[in-house]
Amino acid sequence: MKRSPQNKEDLKDLAAKLDEQRNIIDAIDADILQLIDRRLLAAQEIGRIKKRQHARVLDNQRELRIFQKLFGLSEHTRLSKTALYKIFSAIISASRVIQKPASEASADPREAEIYAVLGHPVAHSLSPVMHSAAFSATGYDGVYLAVNVPDIGVALSGLKALNFKGASITIPHKIAVMEFIDEIDAQAEKIQAVNTVKNNDGRLFGCNTDCFGAISALSEKTVIKDKEVTMLGAGGAARAIGFGIRAAGGRLTIVNRSPQKGSQLAGDLDADFRPLAEVNKLDCHILINATSVGMFPDNDHVPLPQKFLDKKMVVMDIVYNPLKTKLLKWAETIGCATVDGVSMFVHQGAKQFEFWTGRKAPVEIMKMTVLAALEERG
Ligand code: NAP
């Protein structure tokens, strides 16, 4: 199609505007590079001063404080916390290299404490990136692996033989693992599932951090005591969460596809059971999806009809891939407060980290790492 002279003028003008913005970006990039260079110089100088003081050069606590400060500042920018975390992780690791604390060389894998997530399958587990980031951020000399184990009993014998210090236990082993553990904490015993194992010189301790993770994530958005809670699902995760809801004083109704499993769990938790067909008759302040409905690749699926949602509800989905499930998108659209599955995942992981290492978990770093990994997976 032939363009009019007017259009040609417009196109020229647009091309000039594009060049102008590109020049601005080139100039900013050059400035950023200079600023990074100045930052590296300062880091190098700090390294020299600390060596003269005979002090340790690497300071994980200082790195954590830098991230906390940056997360605060990022609220006034267009940069997401995840993007900021990726950028500054790279800059901080360049600073570490330039400080070259030879005597503080990074963990020798032969000396490091070894941990793993044991499941079947485990290829997509986000636990390795999350715990590796926590180890590195706190200076803990640990290595974390993902191990695909069809037989959890054999795997735990191997864990002891190889002197692994601990493990996360995931699908399908959370219940079966219990018979191979020497001591199980009271809460995990009540939930009847273990997702965390600690190896104390050949003696295995088990606990359940899913319950803590879910209740911590939900408590960031709402009080649970005396609230009407509707939970969809009656599987392993629902069991742990339901226990936490009851312990926190919530009134619980379970809704599940298989009525038999649903009423069994409701009986165990002193809760009510309703079939999905009756869900619209429920009074509900907090709605929790603890089924796998909506999980990748079934992103378009939702566990209940949209008309059930009300803007006064707090809606939690424990599915974390995708981060924003269709249920959470619906809930956000009508103005509900929402809690995503990553919050629960990170809080349960933070509790595992503290159980294993005795150190305070770098929760925000763990969350940023998981969000960045999810973003990379698309
Ligand atoms: P599970 O023990 O296998 O239980 C699955 C539950 O989902 C059951 O209640 C099952 O109902 C229900 N369900 C499955 N497909 C369904 C469908 N098409 N329609 C209706 N209900 C359906 O699994 P789980 O260990 O509890 O895990 C459940 C989900 O939570 C998974 O997506 C898992 O990745 C996620 N999770 C997240 C975290 C976190 O930290 N965010 C932690 C643990 C688990 P029936 O009883 O009728 O089969």
126: CATH: 3.40.50.10860
Range of the domain at 67: 15-104
Give the separation between CA 127 and CA 111, rounded to whole angstroms. 21
For ligand 1, whether the C-beta of 257 sits within 6 Å is yes
Strand 203-207 and strand 183-184: the pairing is: parallel
* Distance from the alpha carbon of residue 237 to the mean position of ligand 1, in angstroms: 7
In a domain, 5, yes or no: no
* pTM for this model (two decimals): 0.87
Quick one: pLDDT at residue 55?
87
Do residue 78 and residue 125 come from a single domain? no
* Distance from the alpha carbon of residue 319 to the mean position of ligand 1, in angstroms: 8
In a domain, 83, yes or no: yes
Quick one: pLDDT at residue 298?
92
Strand partners, 272: 253
Give the separation between CA 183 and CA 112, rounded to whole angstroms. 25
The domain boundary residue, chosen from 47, 79, 104: 104
What lies within 8 Å, CB to CB, of 49 at 6+ separation is none
**Planar angle of CA 286, 289, 293, nearest 5 degrees:** 160
User: Which parts of the chain register pLDDT below 70?
Assistant: 1-6, 101-110
Quick one: pLDDT at residue 144?
97
On the 0-12 / 13-18 / 19+ scale of CB atoms within 10 A, 112 is middle
Do residue 92 and residue 202 come from a single domain? no
- b vs e for 266-301, b when ≥16 Cβ sit within 10 Å of the residue's Cβ? bebbebbbbeeeebeeeebbbbbbbbebbbeeeeee
- Among 171, 291, 370, name the best residue to mutate to test ligand 1's pocket (greatest count of ligand atoms within 8 A of Cβ): 291
> Within 13 A of 307's CA, how many CA atoms are on the CB side?
5
Among 12, 51, 69, 174, the active-site one is 174
Active site residue 311: no
Amino acid (1-letter code) at residue 176: A
What lies within 8 Å, CB to CB, of 348 at 6+ separation is 195, 209, 210, 212, 213, 214
The domain boundary residue, chosen from 74, 104, 134: 104
Quick one: pLDDT at residue 64?
87
For ligand 1, whether the C-beta of 233 sits within 6 Å is yes
In a domain, 2, yes or no: no
In a domain, 1, yes or no: no
* Closest residue to atom 12 of ligand 1, CA basis: 291
